[in-house]
Amino acid sequence: MAGGTSRRWSRTVRGPLGVTAVVLLLAVLLLTVFAPMVWQTRADAVHPAEILQGPSGRHPAGTDLLGRDILARVLVATRLSVELALAATVLGVGAGLLLGAAPVVLGRRAGRWIGAVINVAVAFPSLLLALFFAVVFGVGAKGAVLAIGLATAPGFARLTQTMAATVAGRDYIAAARIAGVGRIRILLRHVLPNIAEPLVVAATLAAGSALLAFAGLSFLGLGVQAPAYDWGRLLGEGLAQIYIHPAGALAAAAAVILAAMAFSLTGEVVARAIGLRSAEDAVPAARTAATPPRPAAAAAEIAPLLAVENLRVTFPVRGGQISPVREVSVQLRPGEAVGIVGESGSGKSLTALAIAQLVAAPGRVDADRLEFLGADLRGRGAAAHRRLLGTSLAMVFQDPMTSLNPTHRVGHQLAEVVRRHQGADRRAGWARAVDRLRAVRIPAAERRARQLPHEFSGGMRQRAMIGMGLMAGPALIIADEPTTALDVTVQREVLRLLENIRTADSVGLLFISHDVTVVAQVCERVLVMYAGRIVEDLPSAALLGDARHPYTRALVAAVPGMATDRDRPLAVIPGRPPDPARLPSGCAFAPRCPLATDVCREQDPPPAAYDDGRRVACHHADLAPVAVAPQETTAGRDQS
């Protein structure tokens, strides 16, 4: 852990941002300490003969009204500017910390009052607060320090309060409290150390803001008073002369900006260094799989609703590309229900999105054939067939809670389909939407249509999604785990609804699920996916008793039935599906397969056609069906 942190530190600090921040901050601090020693006399030397000169070799940034060297004055002013800004920051952070931590010490009731005060104060911009306090504390450097400090405090207090409240809710604080540890001790020993890092970042950023605020107040004439000078004053003096020679104002402005950036960049760098590491662990170069043999030629084509051959989805990753879906071929007749099953990560959802041409960039979909109702969807085909897809292809997604737009009324989201694609007017679209909501058995459809999705229950939202798909009379419904997020009784309703639609209007259904039993109930044919490929294609009647692929049998065996012996551990498939970036050579299932032999580990089995249209991709598919012995739940879990 410590190693990770320090590595992150060094990586962040060595980056271009880190180097810039460190160099700027060092320069500012060095100037703060040494500039007055080196350039003070030069900055104060009055040369009546050299008043208001432009930049020259002798005076790189020109001279002011008294002929003093502006560059020297800007450099010397570093000390006062930075000192005052830091003083204001210390004051503001201290006051903010006290206010923000007070609720931990004083208890809930006092905490609520302090919170209310902070809330009121935070509502006002800090510059206005600073102006207010500048009036109270009087014009001048001291007043400005107090003003800016107190103006910083509310924001810092809010931050402290929020974070302290989060930490204070954790178990170890509760434990300490029960153990009788005093509140102040809890604050100092347990709360503050845990929120110290973000507070340090915020304080660094606050120093940058204080510097800018101070420049602002001095510029207005409310901060540092003559004869003392900081950057803000120099800026004000320079602005008055900006038409005669702008170097004075620009030099002061540049100093303020650079110094403020030194602080804010440092804060940024520290924040990144201690922040969460971005999850960008290098993915090893992906295997580019060899072009697979064409699967058995499609049999007896009676006007397929959907014809997919050799579908592949690729994503670029660092140093190569991965293909989470490969060699997928599917045929669907009108009114047919085909299921795709597999573990999560097997590529079944991606297959659904790829068929619907909804894979987002940078993902890429290739296929030898991808036809829907006779239209070729490959390449830019999907864009050309926008209306066809919008009306005849319906999608139902897994999570109804997030699949509807939270800011649009449900009825509007349905009506949109026919309004965009069939030119229906507002009223006709709305009437159709209400009608479809009624068709998916949403009670009081008229009223419900006017509601927002969050007013619907999960089951109702999923029915509304299905209703959306029914708006324009679809030919195919692709349902991606449509019941997974629902509870069991609602599941049954949604399944029955899909079944009714399918049989009534002879709508094709591509049903994706990890649940073998549900797929067996709903579908006529089942495709079993593993590691992005279809490993078995079989009638669902054969699924429970007559599956050929060991993976299919393992999936079936993993389903607990009523007869499952509760005293024995649940059957699971040992190990985990392979990472698409690191597919094993040979059969992808071999490492987890009880029947695997050497040939499995060397050669990827091509799908072989069997009688009744079945296809199996397994070297051992001809072996008599063997019951897979249930494995211990824990076995092979650590293998990855």
Under rule CB under 8 A, residue 249 binds another protein: yes
CA distances for 547 relative to 370, 490, 573, 627, angstroms: 28, 30, 16, 10
Under rule CB under 8 A, residue 112 binds another protein: no
Closest approach of another protein to the CB of residue 216, in Å? 5
Among 19, 33, 45, 136, binds another protein (CB under 8 A): 136
Under rule CB under 8 A, residue 317 binds another protein: no
CA distances for 304 relative to 211, 307, 440, 525, angstroms: 72, 6, 27, 15
Under rule CB under 8 A, residue 127 binds another protein: yes
Can the peptide bond before residue 362 be classed as cis, meaning omega within 30 degrees of 0?
Answer: yes
Under rule CB under 8 A, residue 334 binds another protein: no
Q: Dihedrals φ, ψ of 321, to 5°?
A: -150, 155
Chain positions 26 to 65 lying near another protein, rule: CB under 8 A, are none
Sequence letter at residue 249: A
How do strand 525-530 and strand 508-513 relate by DSSP bridges? unpaired
Tell me if 472 sits within 8 A of 300, measured CB to CB: no
How do strand 525-530 and strand 337-341 relate by DSSP bridges? parallel
Under rule CB under 8 A, residue 543 binds another protein: no
Which DSSP state fits 75?
H
Cα angle 248-254-255, degrees, rounded to a multiple of 5: 95
Closest approach of another protein to the CB of residue 416, in Å? 6
Under rule CB under 8 A, residue 498 binds another protein: no
* Three-class SS state of 557: helix
Query: Nearer to another protein by C-beta: 105 or 239?
Result: 239
Under rule CB under 8 A, residue 416 binds another protein: yes
Q: Select the span of 115-123, 180-188, 499-507, 557-565 touching another protein (CB under 8 A).
A: 115-123
How do strand 476-480 and strand 393-396 relate by DSSP bridges? parallel
With CB under 8 A as the rule, give the number of residues binding another protein: 70
Closest approach of another protein to the CB of residue 327, in Å? 25
**Nearest alpha-carbon partner for 347 in 197, 523, 193, 534:** 534
Query: Nearer to another protein by C-beta: 195 or 253?
Result: 253
Q: Select the span of 24-32, 128-136, 176-184, 574-582 touching another protein (CB under 8 A).
A: 128-136
503 C-beta neighbours (distance < 10 Å), count: 11
CA distances for 96 relative to 413, 532, 570, 571, angstroms: 48, 55, 56, 58
Query: Nearer to another protein by C-beta: 53 or 552?
Result: 53
Encoded one letter per residue, x for contact with another protein by CB under 8 A and - for no contact, window 430-449 reads -----------------x--
Encoded one letter per residue, x for contact with another protein by CB under 8 A and - for no contact, window 147-166 reads --------------------
CA distances for 511 relative to 1, 218, 454, 478, 484, angstroms: 44, 70, 26, 6, 12
Chain positions 457 to 486 lying near another protein, rule: CB under 8 A, are 465, 468
Under rule CB under 8 A, residue 139 binds another protein: yes
Distance CA(189)–CA(177), nearest Å, equals: 12
Among 293, 362, 374, 625, binds another protein (CB under 8 A): 362
Distance CA(36)–CA(229), nearest Å, equals: 12
Terminal-residue alpha carbon distance, the chain = 22
Among 13, 52, 228, 239, binds another protein (CB under 8 A): 239
**Nearest alpha-carbon partner for 65 in 255, 246, 218, 237:** 237
Query: Nearer to another protein by C-beta: 199 or 251?
Result: 251
Closest approach of another protein to the CB of residue 54, in Å? 13
Query: Nearer to another protein by C-beta: 76 or 468?
Result: 468
* Three-class SS state of 512: strand
Query: Nearer to another protein by C-beta: 291 or 405?
Result: 405
Query: Nearer to another protein by C-beta: 408 or 496?
Result: 408
**How far is it between the farthest Cα atoms of the chain?**
109
Extract the tokens encoding 284.
């090893």
Extract the tokens encoding 552.
């299919």
Extract the tokens encoding 388.
């066809």
Closest approach of another protein to the CB of residue 94, in Å? 21
Under rule CB under 8 A, residue 450 binds another protein: yes
Among 257, 375, 431, 608, binds another protein (CB under 8 A): 257
Distance CA(32)–CA(27), nearest Å, equals: 8
What is the full DSSP assignment across 457-475? -HHHHHHHHHHHHTTT--S
* Three-class SS state of 332: strand
Encoded one letter per residue, x for contact with another protein by CB under 8 A and - for no contact, window 365-404 reads ---------------------xx-xx--x-x-x-x--xxx
Among 165, 271, 358, 544, binds another protein (CB under 8 A): 358
Among 70, 222, 286, 475, binds another protein (CB under 8 A): 222
Binding residues for another protein (CB under 8 A): 116, 119-120, 123-128, 131-132, 134-136, 138-139, 208, 212, 215-216, 219-222, 235, 239, 242-243, 246, 249-250, 253, 256-257, 260-261, 264, 356, 358, 360-362, 386-387, 389-390, 393, 395, 397, 399, 402-409, 413, 416-417, 420-421, 447, 450-452, 454, 465, 468
